Amino acid sequence: MDERQWALVRCLADGQFHSGEALARALGLTRSAVWKMLHNIAATLGLALQAERGRGYRLAQPLELLDAALIAADLSAVGRARLQRLAIHPVIDSTNSELMRLAAAGAPSGSVCLAERQTAGRGRRGRDWVSPFGANLYASLLWRYPFAPTHLGGASLAVGVVLADTLRELGATGLALKWPNDLLWQQRKLAGLLLEVAGESQGPCYLVVGLGLNLRMTDAQGSAIDQPWTSLDVVLGERQIGRNQLVARLLDRLFDALDRYERDGLASVLDRWRVYDAYLGQPVQVQIGERVMIGIAAGIAADGSLVVDTPDGRRMFQSGEVSLRPVDR
C-alpha cells in the first residue's frame, strides 16, 4: 500500500461521506484516479464501500485505525519508558516475521510491531492466521533475556494469563486458556499466541511474542477459519474498548510480565493459569504426528508441560508439535 492509498483509507476511516472532489483535492489526484483507487482499495483490503450521488463515498463501517501517539498517551509512565520502538504497518506479511528480522539485526528489547492487515499471518504449527484489515489486533513484541532459550519454555503460558486477566478486567467473563497458546470463550477461539525464540544455546536470547486477538471480525471476514471462533465485541457486549486503548493496556501488562518472567519464571502465574485451564479434569486427545493418545487432562507441571492421565499412566508433554483437543462425549 503506497502513501496515497493509506492517506485515502485514513480519510474514509471516520465512516462519513466524502465527496470525490474533496478526496481528489486532499490527495492531489483527479476524481477519476480517486475513483479507481477507491475500488482498488475496497477490493484489495476487503472493505465495504458505499457511494451516493451528491454525497460521495464512505466506508460501510467506520474504522479505528491504530495510532502510535494515542497508544503512547495511554501507556503508563513505566510502559512508555519500556517501549523502545513502535512501528504500525497498514499491511505487512507478518508482524512476528518482521520483528524476528529486526531482532536479528539488533532491535532493542521493548520493540513493538503492529499491523492493520497481515498477508501471511502465522499461527502455531505453521497454520495461517486470518488477518482482515482493521478488524482485529495483530501485534508482536520483542523482549531480550540474558539466559538460554530453554528457560522460555513456559513463556506462552505466562503471556496467556496476562491476556486473560487483562480482558477479564475489561468485563469479559467465561474465558479459558487452552494449552499452550489459545484463549477461548465458550469453547470458541478468541485469541492465539505465537512465541518465537532465538539466540545462543547458553544465552543470551530473545523472544518475540505474537498476539492475534479477534476484535470486530464479521462472519464473512472469518469465513476461512476452520474452527469455532468469536470476537471481543461479542464477548464484551455493551462494554466496548477502543483498539488503541486496548493495545496500550495490553502492552503495559505484557512489559511487566516479560520483565517479571526473567526473575520468577512461570512460578508466579501457575496458579492463575490453572484457574483458566479449559480442559482440566476432562477427556482429551493428544496428537503427536500420527500418534494419538486419549486421557484425562490433569493440568500443567511446574515447567509448563501438559499433564495427562492415560491408561498407561501419567504423561507429560512439551508444546512442540503436540496438538490438544477435547474428546467429544
Q: What's the pLDDT band for 125 if we cut at 50, 70, 90? A: low
Average confidence (pLDDT) over 257-279: 95
Angle at 105 between CA 180 and CA 153, to 5 degrees: 20
The CA distance from 263 to 27, in Å, is 51
The percentage of the chain sitting over the pLDDT mark of 70, rounded to a whole number, equals: 99
Is the predicted pLDDT of residue 262 greater than 70, yes or no? yes
Concatenated DSSP letters of 52-121: ETTTEEEESS------HHHHHHHS-HHHHHH--EEEEEEEES-HHHHHHHHHHTTPPTTEEEEEEEESS-
Average confidence (pLDDT) over 163-171: 97
Torsion of CA 303, 309, 315, 319, to 10 degrees: -50
Active-site residues, by number, are: 124, 189, 325
The CA distance from 193 to 140, in Å, is 10
Residue-averaged pLDDT of the chain:
94
Query: Which positions make up the binding site for biotin?
Result: 94-96, 118, 122-124, 189
Query: Which positions make up the binding site?
Result: 94-96, 118, 122-124, 189
Q: Which of 211, 297, 293 is nearest to 251 (CA)?
A: 211
Q: What's the pLDDT band for 325 if we cut at 50, 70, 90? A: very high
Average confidence (pLDDT) over 196-223: 94
What does the chain come to in residues? 329
Q: What's the pLDDT band for 185 if we cut at 50, 70, 90? A: very high
Q: What's the pLDDT band for 119 if we cut at 50, 70, 90? A: very high
Q: What domains does the chain contain, in order, with CATH numbers?
A: 3-59 (1.10.10.10), 68-274 (3.30.930.10), 279-326 (2.30.30.100)
